Amino acid sequence: MKAIEIENLNKIYNNRVQALSDVSFYVSEGEVFGLVGPDGGGKSTIFNILATLLLPTSGQASVLSRDVVNDAKIIRQLIGYLPGVFSLYPDLTVEENLIFFATMYKSRIKDNLPLIRPIWKQLVPFKDRRAGKLSGGMKQKLALCCALIHKPALLLLDEPTTGVDPVSRAEFWDILTNIQKQGITVLVSTPYMDEATRCDRIALIQEGKIIKIDTPTNIMEAYRGFLYTIKVENVFSVMEKLKEFDFPCNYYPYGQELHIAFYEAPEIVLQKFCSFLREQNIKFEELSPIQPTIEDCFIELVKLK
Ligand code: ADP
How many alpha carbons fall within 13 Å on the CB side of residue 170?
2
Decide whether any atom of ligand 1 lies within 6 Å of the 83 Cβ. Answer: no
Q: Provide the pLDDT for residue 181.
A: 93
- Domain at 72, CATH number: 3.40.50.300
Which range among 48-52, 166-170, 207-211 shows the weakest confidence by mean pLDDT?
166-170
DSSP code, position 93:
B
Ligand 1: residue whose CA is nearest its atom 11? 19
290 pLDDT above the threshold of 90: yes
Per-residue pLDDT of 76-87, as tens digits, reads 999 999 998 878
69 vs 67: CA distance, rounded Å: 6
Q: Domain check: are 251 and 187 in the same one? A: no
Please check whether residues 190 and 286 belong to one and the same domain: no
Question: How much is the pLDDT for 305?
Answer: 64
Q: Are residues 247 and 198 in the same domain?
A: no
Q: Are residues 184 and 107 in the same domain?
A: yes
For the Cβ of 41 lying below 6 angstroms from any atom of ligand 1, the answer is yes
Q: Is the CB of 19 under 6 A from ligand 1?
A: yes
Query: Which one of 191, 219, 247 terminates a domain?
Result: 219
Q: Residue 139 contacts by C-beta under 8 Å, 6 or more apart in sequence?
A: 86, 88, 131
Tell me, yes or no, whether 92 and 175 share the same domain.
yes
How far, in Å, is the centroid of ligand 1 from the Cα of 11? 10
- Of 198, 219, 240, which residue sits at a domain end? 219
Q: Alpha-carbon torsion 203, 52, 56, 43, what sign?
A: negative
- 19 C-alpha to center of ligand 1: Å? 6
CB 167 within 8 A of CB 135: no
Taking alpha carbons only, the member of 80, 92, 48 closest to residue 146 is 80
Distance 57 CA to ligand 1 centre (A): 14
Number of domain units in the chain: 2
Residue 203: helix, strand or coil by DSSP? strand
Are residue 193 and residue 110 in the same domain, yes or no? yes
Whether 205 and 227 map to the same domain: the answer is no
Report the CATH number that the domain containing residue 256 is assigned in CATH. Answer: 3.30.70
Q: Tens digits of per-residue pLDDT, 2-37? A: 999 999 999 999 999 999 999 999 999 999 999 999
Q: Which domain holds residue 194?
A: 2-219
Q: Are residues 214 and 244 in the same domain?
A: no
Burial state string for 45-68 with b = 16 or more CB within 10 A and e = fewer than 16: bbbbbbbbebebeebebbbbebeb
Provide the pLDDT for residue 192. Answer: 87
Q: 40 CA distance to ligand 1 centroid (A)?
A: 6
pLDDT score at 136: 86
- The residue-averaged pLDDT of 158-183 equals 88
